[in-house]
Amino acid sequence: MSWLNDPEIYKYLETRGNQTILSLEAFIRQQIEGKVYIWAVTIKESGKHIGNIKIDPINQKHSFAEYGILMGDKSEWGKGYAKEASMKVIEYFLGEEKQLRKINLGVVKSNTSAVKLYESLGFEIEGVFKQHVNYDGIYHDILRMALFNKRNHD
Ligand SMILES: CC(C)(COP(=O)(O)OP(=O)(O)OC[C@H]1O[C@@H](n2cnc3c(N)ncnc32)[C@H](O)[C@@H]1OP(=O)(O)O)[C@@H](O)C(=O)NCCC(=O)NCCS
């Protein structure tokens, strides 16, 4: 809950703080009922929970899925953990296990660390929704980015 109520963390997120135990419990119930793929990112040695990655929704008909990440433990930012965990999840969905064609995401253009992370993972910009969301009185562009499965895309 402290992650989601931290303005530095939700600065570019659709969730705008004001989370309570009740709202989080409702969110978790929703995820379980929707059979959504949501993982905890933990540090191998200590087991410390430092973030979450979610794939939701998955569109089986067109073979793509929507990606989201939140690394809530700020003391662990910049150490490559988001990238390492993302690579595992991407491999799961584009590799042998799920064999999806494409992973998509939306990111606020000014969220430089997230944009850098996605570019370093191979995501490319497919389009821009101009001045699409208003956070704290400022309209922001949303980049739509995607990563194709190289095995079935030329
Ligand atoms: C964005 C976020 C996921 C990055 O997590 P992280 O663990 O710090 O990222 P990593 O250390 O794995 O960095 C991965 C890559 O992004 C780059 N990067 C990360 N933060 C950066 C920053 N502040 N400035 C420049 N590059 C940055 C790294 O250089 C690295 O690239 P490289 O492998 O080419 O060197 C994390 O800051 C976060 O969860 N923020 C709040 C929630 C959020 O905005 N989520 C994204 C919503 S779209």
**β-bridge partners, 145:** 105, 125
User: Is it the case that residue 151 has pLDDT exceeding 90?
Assistant: no
User: Residue of the nearest CA to atom 15 in ligand 1?
Assistant: 117
Instruction: Give CA–CA dist 145/24, Å, rounded.
Output: 28
Q: What positions carry a catalytic annotation?
A: 118
Q: Mean pLDDT of all residues in the chain?
A: 95
11 lines ligand 1 (CB under 6 A): no
- C-alpha to C-alpha distances, 69 to 55, 62, 131, 154, nearest whole angstrom: 9, 22, 22, 27
The model carries a pTM of 0.94
What single-letter amino acid sits at 132? H
Q: What is the CA radius of gyration of the chain?
A: 16
- What is the rounded distance in angstroms from the CA atom of residue 100 to the CA atom of residue 148? 9
Give the pLDDT mean for 85-109. 96
With a 6 Å cutoff on the Cβ, whether 113 touches ligand 1 is yes
Section 107-118 average pLDDT: 98
Tens digit of each residue's pLDDT (9 = 90 or more) over 39-84: 999 999 999 999 999 999 999 999 999 999 999 999 999 999 999 9
Q: How confident is the model at residue 34 (pLDDT cuts 50, 70, 90)?
A: confident
Instruction: Retrieve residue 83's tokens.
Output: 């990238």
DSSP labels, 38-51:
EEEEE-TTT--EEE
Cβ–ligand 1 contact at 110 (below 6 Å): no
What is the mean pLDDT of the segment spanning 124-139? 97
CA of 77 relative to ligand 1 center, distance in Å = 7
pLDDT of residue 153: 67
Q: Where are the beta strands (DSSP E) in 63-109?
A: 64-70, 102-108
Q: In angstroms, how far apart are the furthest CA atoms of the chain?
A: 47
Residue ranges and CATH numbers for the domains of the chain are 7-152 (3.40.630.30)
